[in-house]
Amino acid sequence: MFVLIVGAGRLGSSIAKSALASGHQVSVLDLDPLSHERLDAGQSKSWEDSGGQFTVGTALETEALIQAGIERADVFIASTAGDNTNLVIAQIAQKRFNVEKAIVRVMDPARAEWYGQQGLQTICPTKIAIEMFERTLAPAPVEA
């Protein structure tokens, strides 16, 4: 599969590395050229030598998305630091470029839930953390 990841922060770069290691074709787009260092960190070879692709640009620039290979992407992952940016670019990937699977990181649980109902696959780290904390604080009563 061809996976396009926008936003090479902690989340994006980790997914990029594991997707590449599992044999997928992976392209990463980030507006900060230095974010490339995260892709190289802890690896024996550089990102490109391992077969990865890296493009500098913002995800709202159509040309940058095309350069990063959105037209042949099977999976689009929006993992920039901005919820709204992620939600907008994932919809662009779906509606303009017909990418089959668009996955969006959304920190705000409310927006994640609503956009999830609108046909985007949203992942909300905040909600996951809340649930984990809740489980830790109030363990479910043992079933009789």
Q: Please report, as ranges, the residues that interact with another protein according to CB under 8 A.
A: 60-62, 82-85, 87-88, 91-92, 95-96, 108, 110-111, 114, 118
Nearest approach in angstroms of CB 97 to another protein is 11
Nearer to another protein, 53 or 80 (CB): 80
- The span from the CA of 134 to the CA of 121, in Å, is 24
Strand order, beta sheet including 75-78: 53-56, 25-30, 2-6, 75-78, 101-105, 121-123
Sequence-ordered list of residues with C-beta below 8 angstroms from that of 61, at least 6 positions apart, any chain = none
Nearer to another protein, 49 or 61 (CB): 61
Nearer to another protein, 22 or 126 (CB): 126
Nearer to another protein, 19 or 120 (CB): 120
Nearest approach in angstroms of CB 5 to another protein is 18
Nearest approach in angstroms of CB 76 to another protein is 15
- Number of H helices and E strands in the chain, helices first, is 6, 6
Nearest approach in angstroms of CB 101 to another protein is 19
Beta strand spans in 7-74 (E): 25-30, 53-56
